[in-house]
Amino acid sequence: MTELEKYYSKFKEDHRLTTRHGMVEFTTSMKYIHQALEGRQNPKILDVGAGTGRYSIALSREGYDVTAVELVKHNLDILRSKHENVKTWQGNALNLHFLDDNTFDVTILFGPLYHLLTKEEKIQALLEAKRVTKQGGIILAAYIMNEYAVISYCFGENKMKECMQESRLSDDFHTVTAPDDLYSYLRLEDIDELRRSAALERIKLFAQDGASDYMRRALNAMDEETFSYFIQYHLATCERPELLGASSHVVDILRKA
Instruction: Please tell me the distance from the alpha carbon of residue 74 to that of residue 224, in angstroms, as a whole number.
Output: 33
The contacts of residue 73 (CB under 8 Å, 6+ apart) are 5, 90
Q: Which of 196, 204, 212 has the alpha carbon at shortest distance from 246?
A: 212
Instruction: Give pLDDT tens digits for 136-189.
Output: 999 999 999 999 999 999 999 999 999 999 999 999 999 999 999 999 999 999
**φ and ψ at residue 89, rounded to 5 degrees:** -135, 140
172 within some domain = no
214 within some domain = yes
Task: Provide the domain limits for residue 134.
Answer: 3-144+182-255
22 within some domain = yes
**162, containing H or E segment:** helix 160-165
**Whole-number pLDDT of residue 4:** 76
169 within some domain = no
Instruction: Give residue 16's pLDDT band: very low, low, confident or very high (50, 70, 90).
Output: confident
Q: Count how many domains the chain has.
A: 1
Query: How far is C-alpha 257 from the geometric centre of its chain's CA atoms?
Result: 22
Percent of the chain residues topping a pLDDT of 90: 92
- Whole-model pTM? 0.94
177 within some domain = no
**Whole-number pLDDT of residue 3:** 76
Instruction: Give pLDDT tens digits for 216-252.
Output: 999 999 999 999 999 999 999 999 999 999 999 999 9
CATH number, domain containing residue 127? 3.40.50.150
Q: Which of 170, 72, 58 has the alpha carbon at shortest distance from 115?
A: 72
Instruction: Give residue 129's pLDDT band: very low, low, confident or very high (50, 70, 90).
Output: very high
158 within some domain = no
**Whole-number pLDDT of residue 127:** 99
49 within some domain = yes
Instruction: Please tell me the distance from the alpha carbon of residue 70 to that of residue 104, in angstroms, as a whole number.
Output: 17
**Whole-number pLDDT of residue 64:** 98
Q: What is the mean pLDDT of the chain?
A: 95
b/e code 81-119 from CB counts within 10 Å (16+ = b): eeebebebeebbbeebeebeeebbbbbbbbbbbbbbbee
User: What is the chain's Cα-based Rg?
Assistant: 18
- Burial class for 204, CB neighbours closer than 10 Å (0-12, 13-18, 19+): exposed
11 within some domain = yes
**Higher pLDDT, residue 111 or 200:** 200
Q: Check if the beta carbon of residue 114 is closer than 8 Å to that of residue 49.
A: no
The answer, yes or no, to whether residue 78 has pLDDT greater than 90, is yes
The DSSP secondary-structure symbol of 253 reads E
Percent of the chain residues topping a pLDDT of 70: 97
Instruction: Give pLDDT tens digits for 87-119.
Output: 999 999 999 999 999 999 999 999 999 999 999
Question: DSSP assignment of 45-94, as one string?
Answer: EEEET-TTSHHHHHHHHTT-EEEEEES-HHHHHHHHHT--S-EEEE-BTT
Instruction: Give residue 11's pLDDT band: very low, low, confident or very high (50, 70, 90).
Output: low
The contacts of residue 153 (CB under 8 Å, 6+ apart) are 159
The DSSP secondary-structure symbol of 154 reads I
Question: DSSP assignment of 172-228, as one string?
Answer: T--B---TT-S--EE-HHHHHHHHHHTT-EEEEEEESSTTGGGGHHHHHHS-HHHHH
